[in-house]
Structure 1
Amino acid sequence: MKKFILGMALCIGIASCGNRNGEKYKVQEVALAPSPNAEPAMAADVKANSTESAQAGNAGGQPGAVTPTEKKVVKEGEISLETGDLKASRKSLTDSLKKLGGYIDEESENTDTYEGRKNYVFKARIPVQNFERFLNTVSASADHVESKSIRIKDVTTEYIDITTRLNNKKLLENRYKALLAKAGKMSDILEVENKLNDIRTDIESSQGQLNYLNKQIAFSTLQITFFTKNSAGNNSGNSFGYKLKNAFGESLQVLQSIFFGVITFWPVIALVAIIYFIFRQWRKRKSRKATL
């Protein structure tokens, strides 16, 4: 009887070991070959734990795990001012810009014929902490400030949204890297690598948006337009010499238009002249006959 009981216990133990081995194999197969519905579930799990993972990353050095708390703003504006010396004003402003850590992003020069003045325009990028200081320098260097407009845009929500999406994508990338390390089948490896390529593309796109936004936040934009004074007798739009010069120029243009018009329509003019000559000859002959 004792031998029978021992034999039954041994059979049950062997069967239990076999069942545990089978269950372990099934779990391993699921981990190696995730189903198409595994990614949404994984993404939901990542989103649910994004805050906890970010805090753990800050403590343990997790890359990209940042929880933005500061208010993020983008500051930009335009100022138009009048100066007596165009070149001197430009040099003064560019020197001041360099000292404050800024740079010129765009610049152009043009002449306003209607107002009779020269305009110089450049777009300055200045560190946000030096924006007000540079703006005061620009205003002080002008003979007269014609207009000024400053705008501040709050981008905190946009910044948090981009940062959160970037962190979630990086966490998802790490999950798929772990799956790739465990994968044994070639089909599983290819499937996981395709997912990784898509995730990395999203990461690069989000990182580019975040880099651009960080640059906009760190460097404010100020578009500066300064122009020369209008002075009588200095070829301004209201001076006698300026108007006389324009009158001669317009007269020359009229003569040129007449000349080229005659060249263009010379066949028509020649035909009209021939018809007129024939008509006169006919009238003369008719008059002679009437006299006879």
Structure 2
Amino acid sequence: MKTTYIKLSFAAALLLGVYSCKKGEATVINNDSTASAEYAEIASDSISSVATMKVKDKQFIKTADVNMEVKDVYDATISIEKSVQELGGFVTQSNLRRNILSEDSYNTSDTEAMLVKKYQTENTMQVRVPTENLGTLLTFINDKKLFLNSRVINAEDVTSSIKYAELESKRIKKTGENISQLKTNKDKVNMSNDNMSEENQQQLANMDVTDHLKYSTVDIYIKEPQLRVAEIAVTNTTNIDNKYQFSFVYSAKNAFIEGFYIIQRLIVGLIMIWPFLIISFFTFYFYRKNQSKKKRNLRFAEKSSAS
């Protein structure tokens, strides 16, 4: 009886151990299956926590810079631009371009050819979105990535700058009141103009800070990780060049005409130098005549001396 009880106790312990092991394995598997979901949720929360950070009595100008690779740059661009508009923002720059890495033409027939281009598409964007929607936009952009190269989120604390601007506004206002109490003269006019100019600059700076507090700027660079190939049907230019490269009849006719034009130019050139020809003729004539006269005088002198 005691032996049977021991055996039953051992069997129960063995079954309990197996059950515990299986339960432990099931628990581990369940934890692994939820790990990726929890990581994605943490990543999403990290985007939201940085982009939507709020601190009491603090004001931040928030900007972001995202560099990533996507499956299709054009589709991602359209989606991002649409999302920005839906969130109440706007696009300030979108420079989509295709970088041609190689371009070759292959003849397929006497008249046709195929132009093959290998290229990579990229886009540089700048968008502005209401600051309260910055986290939503970054989460949407993150969902479009194949590979994230870098993501930078900046929150610049401008609380002290805003307080300083308020003090400057009060100072400028007080200065204006003091100037108005002065006696009107040339110096007062100059001081009033300078103070008004400083006030305008301060108001412009305040408007700029207010705008950047309301809207966050996001710079986005996206590209495709692999090359694309475009095949474009074109004309076989090599065959066309060979066809019209040389025509004997046409070239012979042009050569004959050009020769005729050369003869005309020579005749016209001779006509243009007729004064020189006349002068040369008379010069040669008088020279020959003078030489003949000298020869006659020489012969006459020789005859005279001989006689």
TM-score, with normalisation over the residues of structure 2?
Answer: 0.47
Name the structure with the higher strand share: 2
Could you say which structure has the larger radius of gyration? 2
